[in-house]
């Protein structure tokens, strides 16, 4: 570090770790033994406001060993959020590699910070500082050509395009991985959003969560991303094809599109076709809504209820027989409180549901009229 000073004994409790992109500190055993035998050979690095920049693994070991103070190198000139994040990124790059998910989180924040920084430079280029307002046009042109607008030296103003800006995405990706990997990192970010969204179909959320776990192990993103996005589009089409409230034209079109998608052999081609299908039917839904075309519910008043029952039965059919696949003794012995509460609530609520359904079923049966006896023909002869 070219700027800063060394403090041999800095209180550990005063150091703020803030947001950490690394949640997996890795195996600390070797580092712990080294610190125990030789002490901390390299001080950790913090800002003047006691924010940790580098050394989170060393700090964790010092805490684990019961130390109350730690040698630190205090760096000046790292005060704004972008500089702090970049400094943390440098530490992570030079030491233990970040996992793909950790890279995506760091990339997502850097992307926003770069975009904000670009917007500030662009505004400064357009309007200048308060001391030059009377020479606005002249100084704006000069700032744009010489980089004297108060921004980073030799860095021209950047125009953002879309969320975060195209240049911001490239900058952030290179800062995290050393190359323009923004497409891959954007895919990881989107998979995280899908897995966390309550609006997504449960199967899509589960597929996204599984994809994140797998790609975090081998770093292969694109194929898994394509499969999750394809499933997302297919579930959307299925919803439209089966929803009783949709117009006949929408349901028929969605069904036809689903059949067409199944003919695609490669996931990339299937996703392209599914995306087009979703866009086409979304427009069709808007057209049918504006013309007030009615759906199945007007043909069969009970169709909505029948559809809901079918969904419930399909759900239960997938899980049917689970009680034969697990050992109740093991569950009673090893389940924690949260797991026990979940299963207990599930079964108790299911029993209550069935009791109410049985009452309704008995009431309906008692109200049905008895079948009329057929008239008996009498022979008059």
- Please state at what angle helix 182-196 crosses helix 100-127, rounded to 10 degrees: 110
Overall pTM > 0.85: no
pLDDT of residue 289: 73
Handedness of CA 285, 290, 291, 297 (dihedral sign): positive
What span, in angstroms and rounded, lies between the C-alpha atoms of 228 and 234? 10
pLDDT of residue 235: 93
Q: Which of 191, 185, 181 is nearest to 224 (CA)?
A: 191
Judge whether 93 and 35 are in contact, CB under 8 Å: no
pLDDT of residue 233: 94
Here the tokens at position 28 are 């600390």
Q: Which residues of the chain have pLDDT under 70?
A: 1-6, 18-25, 38, 41-42, 76-98, 124-165, 290-304, 306-307, 318, 369-381
Contacts of 3 (CB under 8 A, 6+ apart): 75, 76, 77
Q: Mind listing the pLDDT tens digit for each residue in 305-322?
A: 766 777 787 778 767 788
Contacts of 54 (CB under 8 A, 6+ apart): 44, 45, 87, 88, 90, 91, 95
Q: Where are the domains of the chain?
A: 5-94, 100-180, 190-298
When the candidates are 3.20.20.140, 2.30.30.170, 3.90.190.20, 3.90.1530.10, the CATH number that belongs to 5-94 is 3.90.1530.10
């Amino acid at each position: 570090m070219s700027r800063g000073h060394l403090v041999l004994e800095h209180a550990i409790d005063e150091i703020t770790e803030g947001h950490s992109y690394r949640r997996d500190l890795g195996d600390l055993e070797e580092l712990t033994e080294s610190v125990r035998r030789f002490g901390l050979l390299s001080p950790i690095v913090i800002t003047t406001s006691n924010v940790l920049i580098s050394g989170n693994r060393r700090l964790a070991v010092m805490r684990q060993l019961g130390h109350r103070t730690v040698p630190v190198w205090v760096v000046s000139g790292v005060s704004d959020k972008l500089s702090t994040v970049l400094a943390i990124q440098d530490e992570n790059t030079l030491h233990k590699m970040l996992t793909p998910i950790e890279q995506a989180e760091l990339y997502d924040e850097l992307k926003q910070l770069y975009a904000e920084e670009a917007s500030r430079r662009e505004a400064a280029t357009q309007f200048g500082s308060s001391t030059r307002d009377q020479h606005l046009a002249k100084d704006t042109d000069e700032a744009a050509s010489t980089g004297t607008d108060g921004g980073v030296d030799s860095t021209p103003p950047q125009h953002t395009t879309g969320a975060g800006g195209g240049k911001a995405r490239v900058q952030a990706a290179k800062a995290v991985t050393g190359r323009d990997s923004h497409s891959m990192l954007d895919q990881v970010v989107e998979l995280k959003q899908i897995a966390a969204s309550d609006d997504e179909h449960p199967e899509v959320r589960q597929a996204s969560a599984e994809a994140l776990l797998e790609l975090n192990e081998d770093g292969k993103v694109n194929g898994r991303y394509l499969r999750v996005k394809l499933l997302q589009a297919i579930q959307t089409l299925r919803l439209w094809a089966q929803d009783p409230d949709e117009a006949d034209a929408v349901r028929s079109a969605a069904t036809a599109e689903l059949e067409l998608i199944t003919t695609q052999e490669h996931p990339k081609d299937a996703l392209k076709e599914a995306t087009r299908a979703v866009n086409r039917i979304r427009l069709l839904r808007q057209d049918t809504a504006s013309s007030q075309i009615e759906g199945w519910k007007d043909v069969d008043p009970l169709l909505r209820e029948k559809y809901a029952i079918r969904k419930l039965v399909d759900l239960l059919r997938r899980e049917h027989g689970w009680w034969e696949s697990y050992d109740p003794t093991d569950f009673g012995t090893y389940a924690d409180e949260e797991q026990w509460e979940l299963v207990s609530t599930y079964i108790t609520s299911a029993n209550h549901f069935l009791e109410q359904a049985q009452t309704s079923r008995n009431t309906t049966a008692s109200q049905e009229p008895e079948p009329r006896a057929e008239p008996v023909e009498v022979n008059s002869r």
